[in-house]
């Protein structure tokens, strides 16, 4: 998994502390991980999946993860806030 991003689209994958999640990213060699700390609705989750896949597809390699995270949160504030999506990198 080295050098890749992973998106956990299931509920409560990110219920651990941010420090533990950062440790997971570092130990696996990932560039970053994205997921939900709590239970989320499947329709909102599906909508966010399309948003995140589109953002990475269009911008992969040209922007840092933190820039993509901010862009998504700026463009879809209600959705990202409601889901509590977490970006770890």
pLDDT in tens, 14-31: 888 888 989 999 999 998
Q: Is the pTM of this model over 0.85?
A: no
pLDDT 10s digits, 48-74 = 999 888 888 776 656 566 777 888 888
Supply the pLDDT for residue 57: 79
Q: How far is it, in rounded angstroms, from Cα 87 to Cα 69?
A: 7
- pLDDT grade, residue 47 (50/70/90)? very high
- Domain residue ranges of the chain, discontinuous segments joined by +: 5-70+84-88
Q: CB neighbours of 59 closer than 8 A, spacing ≥ 6?
A: 68
Supply the pLDDT for residue 60: 63
- Going by their DSSP bridges, the two strands 32-35 and 86-88 should be labelled as antiparallel
Other C-beta atoms closer than 10 Å to the C-beta of 14 total: 23
């Amino acid at each position: 998994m080295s050098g890749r991003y992973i998106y956990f689209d299931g509920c409560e994958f990110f219920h651990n502390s941010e420090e533990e999640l950062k440790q997971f990213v570092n130990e696996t060699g990932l560039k970053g991980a994205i997921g939900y700390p709590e239970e989320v609705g499947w329709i909102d989750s599906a909508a966010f999946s399309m948003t995140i896949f589109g953002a990475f597809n269009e911008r992969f390699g040209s922007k840092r993860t933190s820039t993509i995270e901010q862009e998504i949160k700026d463009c879809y504030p209600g959705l990202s806030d409601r889901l509590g999506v977490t970006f770890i990198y």
